[in-house]
Amino acid sequence: MASWVQSVLVVLAMVLFPTTIESKVWHYKFNVVMKNMTRLCESKPIVTINGKFPGPTLYAREDDRVIVRVVNKVPHNITIHWHGVRQLRTGWSDGPAYITQCPIQTNQSYLYKFNVTGQRGTLLWHAHITWLRATVHGAIVILPKHGVPYPFPKPDHEKIIVLGEWWKSDADDVMNQWVQTGMPPNVSDAHTINGYPGPTPGCSSSGFTLHVEAGKTYLLRIINAALNEDVFFKIAKHEFTVVEVDACYVKPFKTDTIYTAPGQTTNVLLTADQKSGKYLMAISPFMDTIVAVDNQTAIATLRYKTTKPYTPLTLTTLPATNATPATNSFIESLRSLNSPKYPALVPLKIDHSLFFVVGVGVDPCSTCVNGSRVVAGINNVTFVMPDTALLQAHYFNTSGVFTDDFPGNPVTPYNYTGSGPTNIQTTNGTKVYRLAYNSTVQVVIQGNGIIAPESHPIHLHGFNFFVVAKGLGNYDPVNDPKKFNLVDPVERNTLTVPTAGWIVIRFKADNPGVWFLHCHLEVHTTWGLKMAFLVDNGNGPNESIIPPPKDLPTC
């Protein structure tokens, strides 16, 4: 056949059958290396991937396969979690240390292998051991399949914006303050936008600049990789159209303020509709209770290409730190796209109806300052990390690592947001909640008011969930279900339980494995606000977890 005929046929095939093009394998190499970084006019060595902070962006296309070789060259154990990647049957590549795998030790490596099936949008990857994710994190961009357009106007350009927190001291040393003293660890010294705090009192370093061209539209992929703080994100004189969260499309809505919790991703369209100039881009913390936060605003600049030198920066004001209404209006605007192509498959019949009370408590500690330490838990259980991985213990039927008696409801009910229980001591345990393959689950996640009521961004591994309701005070099992949105609730993997309030999530346990659920404020995870679901295999290999890879690290 003449080669031009061949080319024509190939092009024709691509036009006619765009989705039949074989899916691709994306290979990445993540070298875990120390790197000296200067921020806030001080230098320190940090753990990085390939010497970058934030780390490299991982690109893939919906349904593609991703293989990441992680080589550990630092004196810390490490694991990487592909936050929000469902890991369908590939739980060995999920990453939380001691949940799905033993950590990769110094001078060892591990191949993470997974498919990004049925997902498109922006996600986060981060270290999932101690507090290393402070500096070990980055973006995952899952593009739609070839020939499949976005369900919103095509942007001219796409930009990644990673938000973070910076400590002048080593983040793991900060965590260890709590281990030693029992007291809450220090808040960060700055927030960062794409790795830079911008000018701060006493240190006039410049921050990140986003260069734009007047009249063009940008898709901003905003990733909150902060450790312990929810933030507001704003750009002076510009409005955003939110189109996707946590790699799930939403009904587009306009806002000038993004509210985002650690672990969440938000895709927005921004039109550069000013003529020229420099505009403040900033993040500031949200906290509506008496808990200390880092109140440094991180500053970056949106700059038009035509801007003349010495043009002053156009400023804006961010919401107050305790601006609860701004968080509510943002969350309540989020609705699944629920189109014929992207339906919202909300489970309507529920097999397991669970009630998780989340919050902090105390635990005796003889070496601590006050003879006790602040801890956190779910249904009064403070999760104790095992010293081998739960998924291995499950797969190989090793007894003595965990028990499957995690309480699906509070053992001793009390007035959760009111006077509280008489005894605020939690119990310790490594407990999982067992689910049959394909069973449907509803979890009411109720915040409590012990010590201080506080909001908690709850993250679930292995699944997206639908947020069918949210409210304040104690959940009312009689009247609140009448208000459930079972039509177009937002689908995501992390959502904040409001201070002294509750949310209701639903998901289908169609992914066998052991799946972590925890507060994505790292400080609360450290304190024990975590548990795991164990989803049994279904029938046959297609409903079962794959066998463990040969290079799976050992403890």
Task: Check residue 516 for interaction with ligand C2O (CB under 6 A).
Answer: yes
Smaller CB separation from ligand C2O, 303 or 456: 456
Closest separation in Å from C-beta 83 to ligand C2O: 4
Smaller CB separation from ligand C2O, 76 or 278: 76
- Buried b / exposed e over 516-544, threshold 16 CB at 10 Å, is bbbbbbbbbbbbbbbbbbbbbeeeeeeee
Bridge partners, 321 (sequence order):
none
Smaller CB separation from ligand C2O, 61 or 128: 128
End-to-end distance of the chain based on CA atoms, in angstroms?
58
How far apart (Å, rounded) are the C-alpha atoms in residues 300 and 531? 37
Smaller CB separation from ligand C2O, 318 or 376: 376
Smaller CB separation from ligand C2O, 53 or 304: 53
Closest separation in Å from C-beta 30 to ligand C2O: 16
Closest separation in Å from C-beta 88 to ligand C2O: 17
- Sole binder of ligand C2O in the list 54, 55, 96, 277 (CB under 6 A): 96
- Quick one: which of 535, 455, 482 has its CA closest to 94? 535
| Span from 161-169, 230-238, 377-385, 514-522 in contact with ligand C2O (CB under 6 A) | 514-522
Question: For ligand C2O, how many residues bind (rule: CB under 6 A)?
Answer: 11
Q: Which amino acid is at 245?
A: V
Give 102's Cβ-side CA count (13 Å radius).
Answer: 15
Q: Which amino acid is at 105?
A: Q
How far apart (Å, rounded) are the C-alpha atoms in residues 39 and 164? 13
Task: Check residue 347 for interaction with ligand C2O (CB under 6 A).
Answer: no
Closest separation in Å from C-beta 41 to ligand C2O: 30
The alpha carbons of the chain give a radius of gyration, in whole angstroms, of: 23
| Span from 141-149, 381-389, 411-419, 515-523 in contact with ligand C2O (CB under 6 A) | 515-523
Residues 6+ apart with CB under 8 A from 257: 232, 233, 234, 318, 319, 326, 330
Give 274's Cβ-side CA count (13 Å radius).
Answer: 19
Task: Check residue 81 for interaction with ligand C2O (CB under 6 A).
Answer: yes
Smaller CB separation from ligand C2O, 98 or 516: 516
Sheet holding 157-166, edge to edge: 190-193, 157-166, 217-224, 265-271, 240-245, 248-255
Smaller CB separation from ligand C2O, 243 or 460: 460
| Span from 6-14, 190-198, 516-524, 545-553 in contact with ligand C2O (CB under 6 A) | 516-524
- Quick one: which of 56, 3, 49, 58 has its CA closest to 27? 58
Task: Check residue 128 for interaction with ligand C2O (CB under 6 A).
Answer: yes
- Quick one: which of 78, 305, 103 has its CA closest to 212? 305
Interface residues for ligand C2O in 172-231 (CB under 6 A)? none
Cis peptide before 103 (omega within 30 of 0): no
Closest separation in Å from C-beta 128 to ligand C2O: 6
Smaller CB separation from ligand C2O, 200 or 265: 265
Interface residues for ligand C2O in 254-293 (CB under 6 A)? 263
How far apart (Å, rounded) are the C-alpha atoms in residues 274 and 213? 9
The three-class DSSP label of residue 343 is coil
Task: Check residue 126 for interaction with ligand C2O (CB under 6 A).
Answer: yes
- Sole binder of ligand C2O in the list 76, 83, 86, 508 (CB under 6 A): 83
- Sole binder of ligand C2O in the list 221, 303, 431, 461 (CB under 6 A): 461
Closest separation in Å from C-beta 1 to ligand C2O: 51
Interface residues for ligand C2O in 484-503 (CB under 6 A)? none
Residues 6+ apart with CB under 8 A from 471: 480, 483, 501, 502
Consecutive H or E run containing 250: strand 248-255
Interface residues for ligand C2O in 242-261 (CB under 6 A)? none
Please give the C-alpha separations between residue 124 and each of 1, 88, 138, 150, 262, in angstroms, as whole numbers. 47, 17, 6, 20, 10
Task: Check residue 524 for interaction with ligand C2O (CB under 6 A).
Answer: no
How far apart (Å, rounded) are the C-alpha atoms in residues 268 and 464? 20
- Which DSSP state fits 536? -
Task: Check residue 470 for interaction with ligand C2O (CB under 6 A).
Answer: no
| Span from 22-30, 320-328, 417-425, 512-520 in contact with ligand C2O (CB under 6 A) | 512-520
User: Which residue is closest to ligand C2O by CB?
Assistant: 83
Smaller CB separation from ligand C2O, 124 or 270: 124
Closest separation in Å from C-beta 84 to ligand C2O: 8
Tokens 């006493």 -> residue: 202
Closest separation in Å from C-beta 412 to ligand C2O: 28
Smaller CB separation from ligand C2O, 97 or 503: 97
Closest separation in Å from C-beta 96 to ligand C2O: 5
Q: How many other CB atoms sit within 10 Å of the CB of residue 259?
A: 22
Q: How many other CB atoms sit within 10 Å of the CB of residue 487?
A: 11
Smaller CB separation from ligand C2O, 274 or 464: 464
How far apart (Å, rounded) are the C-alpha atoms in residues 234 and 315? 10
Closest separation in Å from C-beta 126 to ligand C2O: 6
Smaller CB separation from ligand C2O, 86 or 518: 518
Residue 356, token pair as written in the block: 């998780």
Smaller CB separation from ligand C2O, 240 or 515: 515
Closest separation in Å from C-beta 459 to ligand C2O: 5
Smaller CB separation from ligand C2O, 80 or 450: 80
Instruction: List residues binding ligand C2O (CB under 6 A).
Output: 81, 83, 96, 126, 128, 263, 459, 461, 516, 518, 520
